Amino acid sequence: MRKLTYGMNLSLDGFIAAPGDDLGWSAPSDELFQWWSDRVAATGLALYGRRLWETMSPHWPTADQQPGATPAQIEFAGRWRDMPKVVFSSTIDKVDWNTRLVTGDAVTEITRLKAEDGGPMDISGAALAAAPMRAGLIDEYAIVTHPVLVGGGTPFFTTLDSWVSLSLVETRTFPGGVVLTRYETRR
């Protein structure tokens, strides 16, 4: 069975985007950017919601060809382009860059994908992660907390019907006071 991890940058008050979908507060240090790039390299399948897909897909497929692209950006762009991806959306009809579109029920499809052989899966996007979180499908949470309070926006966690017990498996500090905490779901 494949492992499913939900990981994103979030503010100290628990948001992945500030009001107006502002992500300016989450610009990564070089060290954190490299951590995210290495995570992409280790991902067997990435699951995206439409909104995050629409943020990532216009930039990363050709970011390595942009003037002034750093070696880290060039590496990430190639890894992102090559990584198999699934986008869940009922409002778009086309995806590209090694990506498949799913328009049906996300929980049903993610349950099917978890049962397949293959490398670990990462889920990105709070709206997409909400239903699998409530269904108990998430095996690990990788929370990259930035020392900023944004006061509102898109929350990382959804409302749950019951508690989810977690075990801390890693902590790491990055420049600028950014802290990674990884938790596995206790079953």
pLDDT digits (tens, 9 = 90+) for 28-78: 999 999 999 999 999 999 999 998 999 899 999 899 999 999 999 999 999
Q: What is the pLDDT of residue 103?
A: 95
The pLDDT mean for the chain works out to: 95
Q: What is the pTM of this model?
A: 0.94
Q: CA triplet 92, 54, 56: central angle to 5 degrees?
A: 140
Among 61-65, 105-109, 152-156, name the one with the lowest average pLDDT: 61-65
Distances (CA, A) of 122 to 57, 92, 94, 152, 178: 16, 21, 21, 25, 21
Alpha carbon distance 34, 58 (integer Å)? 21
Q: Average pLDDT in the 138-148 region?
A: 98
Alpha carbon distance 156, 26 (integer Å)? 14
Alpha carbon distance 76, 56 (integer Å)? 12
Alpha carbon distance 35, 43 (integer Å)? 12
Q: At what angle do helices 106-115 and 126-134 cross, to 10 degrees?
A: 70
148 in helix, strand or coil?
coil
Of 28, 4, 2, nearest to 129 by C-alpha is 4
Share of the chain above pLDDT 70, in %: 100
Place of tokens 């778009």: 92
CB neighbours of residue 129 within 10 Å: 27
Q: What is the pLDDT of residue 94?
A: 92
